[in-house]
Amino acid sequence: MHTVVVGTSGVTASDVLAVARDGARIELSGEAVAALAAAREIVDALAAKPEPVYGVSTGFGALASRHISPELRAQLQRNIVRSHAAGMGPHVEREVVRALMFLRLKTVCSGHTGVRPEVAQTMADILNAGITPVVHEYGSLGCSGDLAPLSHCALTLMGEGDAEGPDGVVRPAGELLAAHGITPVELREKEGLALLNGTDGMLGMLVMALADLETLYKSADVTAALSLEALLGTDKVLAPELHAIRPHPGQGASAANMLAVLKGSELTGHHQDDAPRVQDAYSVRCAPQVAGAGRDTLAHARTVAERELASAVDNPVVLPDGRVESNGNFHGAPVAYVLDFLAIAAADLGSIAERRTDRLLDKNRSHGLPPFLADDAGVDSGLMIAQYTQAALVSEMKRLAVPASADSIPSSAMQEDHVSMGWSAARKLRTAVNNLARIVAIELYAATRAIELRAGLTPAPASQAVIAAVRAAGVQGPGPDRFLAPDLEAADAFVRAGGVVTAAEPVTGPLA
């Protein structure tokens, strides 16, 4: 099994995906253990002094003015975890919780938090055992970190609350730890606070969304090319020289992908009744501009994620010169903004895909295709309601594109008076990504059927490869009406698994 070694300088996106989705094992580097021990010495020295230090010998948030005596400090750290584990709603997905916990471990290992090495090792042990704390949908405002979600994870470290075992069964966390030979931690000064104070949940969801969207954007380029081909459109608008004079990188990449898919097609440029169109509709002609803008948004979001993956987000932090300083680095604004930006881009990509699907189904705009791509229109309804489903998904995508980060609700008696709502931005982006996969799947379903209905004209070799792979995946081709939901579900699974790209690239070469 792949092993991820956590050091002091952060982790990579591939590390997060390996731990969250593939169950990779985690090891702490010797450098990280040394840094943890050195920072802990600083915290212990401050704890022994009479002067109050935030997070070490004081209360938290609006209660930070109270000095806590030494005999109450362990109780203080336990209490912050227990009281902050106040989430409600459905359980968050296992991969999100694993990413959340792994990214908190990443910051702990930076040597800026003052957490003891044994606490960090216990975090790694829990992840390696396949134990997943139960985290709830609601509880984070995306400021002072993803407090409630991280608190539920810290509760598991203490052997309290509920967690899911590697068998998927939810049990008391203490029982699961005991079954795997893991000793619960007894938190000391600052440790409870350090386990709660980070942007780890929203960052983990950003990293996973970026990975999923990268595949979906390539898939969308392929399906757009198939739709262009099925509509007998022109590929001249994809010429590199046209995109060179508006040099947005994403636009050029999308156009190049589409052109590669269409190479060798006999359908492009042919027109019904020999009546050539001067221009294709925007949804066809402007596909690279819309998908390209989304690709550039992905690039920006990836830069933000990489910076955050290299960050140590905590408050207060232990600095190399021995100071322990309060700060505002836990504020989720940088991550929240790009999460919202990605939801906007995904909504627009879904919207333009739906417009192409609708055009394929409309006999007045499809240039000779049967109404709704039906076998016997009137007796058969064809893909009429598949487009309804796609339209419903697009409509929800538009609602999900409303930014969460534009909102703020003051908390902690107005001490925390401006929050990012980044967790909410991440949660709605996950729904948007799932919806986008379904939308692309429906366009793929319609476009492949439409191409097969163009008798007498040979599609591009890449198109043929995609159609063959779709059919091999259990998605049926043209014919009389049948129970449609299984076909759409199979198309969705094919898209999510990267099947569109995998089928096209042996013909096109690597897609950008």
The pLDDT of residue 271: 62
Give the start-end residues of each E strand in 160-205. 162-164, 170-172
Judged against a pLDDT cut of 70, whether residue 412 lies above it is answered with yes
Out of 23-27, 49-53, 411-415, the most confident range is 23-27
Helix (H) or strand (E) holding 25: strand 25-28
- Structural contact between residues 110 and 67, judged by C-beta atoms closer than 8 angstroms: no
pLDDT of residue 68: 82
* Residue 87 pLDDT: 97
Task: Give 450's contacts (C-beta < 8 A, 6+ positions apart).
Answer: 227, 230, 231, 360, 366, 369, 373
CA 439/CA 389 separation, integer angstroms: 9
**Is residue 378 left, alpha or beta, with left meaning phi > 0 and alpha meaning psi from -120 to 50?**
left
Is the pLDDT confidence value at 56 over 90?
no
Are residues 117 and 33 in contact, defined by beta-carbon separation less than 8 angstroms? yes
287 token code pair: 């596909």
pLDDT value at position 74? 86
Residues taking part in catalysis? 54
Buried b (16+ CB within 10 A) or exposed e, 291-300: bbbbbebbee
Beta bridge partners of 267: none
Bridge partners for 6 per DSSP: 28
Q: Tell me what pLDDT residue 33 has.
A: 98
Cα separation, 353 vs 370, in Å, equals 20
**Which phi and psi angles does 317 have, rounded to 5°?**
-115, 150
Q: Which residues, at least 6 apart from 289, have a Cβ–Cβ distance to it below 8 Å?
A: 251
pTM, 2 dp: 0.95
Which percentage of the chain shows pLDDT scores above 90?
87
Q: Which residues are bridge partners to 163 per DSSP? A: 133, 171
303-332 pLDDT per residue, tens: 999 999 999 999 889 998 989 898 999 999
What whole-number distance in Å separates Cα of residue 101 and Cα of residue 196?
Answer: 10
Measured N-to-C along each axis, helices 422-452 and 461-472 cross at an angle, to the nearest 10 degrees, of 110
Using the predicted structure, report yes or no on whether residue 8 has a pLDDT greater than 70. yes
Distance CA 162, CA 218 (A): 40
Cα gap 162→169, rounded to integer Å: 10
Q: Where does the pLDDT of residue 58 fall: very low under 50, low under 70, confident under 90, or very high at 90 and above? A: confident
Decide: helix, strand or coil at residue 324.
strand
Detail the DSSP E strand segments found in 127-274.
Answer: 132-133, 136-138, 162-164, 170-172
Q: In terms of Cα–Cα distance, which of 286, 244, 284, 246 is closest to 267?
A: 284
Q: Model confidence over 370-400: pLDDT tens digits?
A: 999 999 999 999 999 999 999 999 999 999 9
For residue 42, what are its two tokens?
């600083």
pLDDT in tens, 495-506: 999 999 999 999
What per-residue confidence (pLDDT) applies to 186? 95
Helix axes 287-309, 13-22, angle to 10 degrees: 90
Q: What is the per-residue pLDDT across 259-289, written as a single tens digit (0 to 9) for each?
A: 999 999 999 986 655 566 678 999 999 999 9
Residues 468-497: what's their mean pLDDT? 98
